[in-house]
Amino acid sequence: MIRLEDVTFSYASSKPALSHVTLEISDGEFVAIIGENGAGKTTLVKHLNGLLKPESGRVLVCGVDSRETTVATLARKVGLVFQNPDHQLFAETVEKELAFALVNFGMPKEKVSEKVEWALEEFELKQYRSRSPFLLSGGERKRLALASVLCYDPEIVILDEPTTGQDSRQKHRLASLLKRLNEQGKTVLIVTHDIEFVSDYIPRVVVMSGGKLVADGPTGECLTRLELLERASLISPQLAEISWDLGLKSPSIDLDFVVAGINEMIRGLHG
């Protein structure tokens, strides 16, 4: 379980990047954090493996206060992948890149190669196994970065903007992988601007704006509140747009629901 209790944090000399954030995410949840650029999303996730410690308030990860442990200990449980893959790829080959975290966490040799094989397969990187990470394309590097964390099988998976630069096929693969991990009982948290990705796959949304948590609830509810979306500089999901444009009684982001609404309207016009 992840718990933030009234967390405030500021970088040197500026207004707080997080102010009084309280949030609880239970084991096995699948949550999206959305919000405008500079809303504090990255700052928030950096608190979840102890890279940043709260100025006031507390962060509890699996019952442990982040101030009373090390990043390396928390990282074993919390897999955090950042936006920019170029900030972490360094090894000679894709294989060695994947093994890096596994070796850091002291896994035995057979286990390391087993996990590396799994990741190569899962992320369609097999043909690149002995190639330098720097020769991969942008999208492939991004996938390798994801793979290099997911391969050590953390209980909690946190991805900062994982869909940027991925085509729709890769997005789909990522979504189904995350869904599968979630069904296996992992907690999955992703930061994204990709509203369609959220509305298609993720049941719970946390909306941030200006360092504050401004909404937290079921995706269908949050993403059909226009004022909220505007506040967080987000595009509304297409289905919500259609609902508003047609003046449906209850706007929704569920395709079946919207179709039913339209059918009802048509019936109303006939009758």
Ligand X SMILES: Nc1ncnc2c1ncn2[C@@H]1O[C@H](COP(=O)(O)OP(=O)(O)O)[C@@H](O)[C@H]1O
Using CB under 8 A as the criterion, which residues of the chain lie in contact with other proteins when the complex forms?
12-13, 46, 49, 51, 70-72, 75-76, 79-82, 84, 86-90, 100-101, 104-105, 134, 148-149, 152
Task: Give residues with Cβ within 8 angstroms of 1, minimum separation 6.
Answer: 24, 25, 26, 27, 60, 61, 62, 63
**d(C-alpha 134, C-alpha 146), whole Å:** 15
Query: Tokens for 106?
Result: 């002291």
Sole binder of ligand X in the list 17, 52, 151, 157 (CB under 6 A):
17
Q: Which is nearer to Mg ion, 211 or 220 (CB)?
A: 211
Task: Give residues with Cβ within 8 angstroms of 20, minimum separation 6.
Answer: 6, 7, 8, 57, 212
Q: Which is nearer to Mg ion, 42 or 132 (CB)?
A: 42
Least CB distance from residue 154 to Mg ion, whole Å? Answer: 20
Least CB distance from residue 135 to Mg ion, whole Å? Answer: 27
Neighbours of 137 (CB within 10 A): 9
Tell me: does residue 42 bind ligand X (CB under 6 A): yes
Q: Which is nearer to other proteins, 34 or 75 (CB)?
A: 75
Contact criterion met (CB below 8 Å) for 198 and 219: yes
Sole binder of Mg ion in the list 42, 69, 73, 93 (CB under 5 A):
42
Sole binder of ligand X in the list 39, 52, 102, 207 (CB under 6 A):
39
Q: Which is nearer to Mg ion, 42 or 233 (CB)?
A: 42
88: helix, strand or coil: coil
Least CB distance from residue 210 to Mg ion, whole Å? Answer: 14
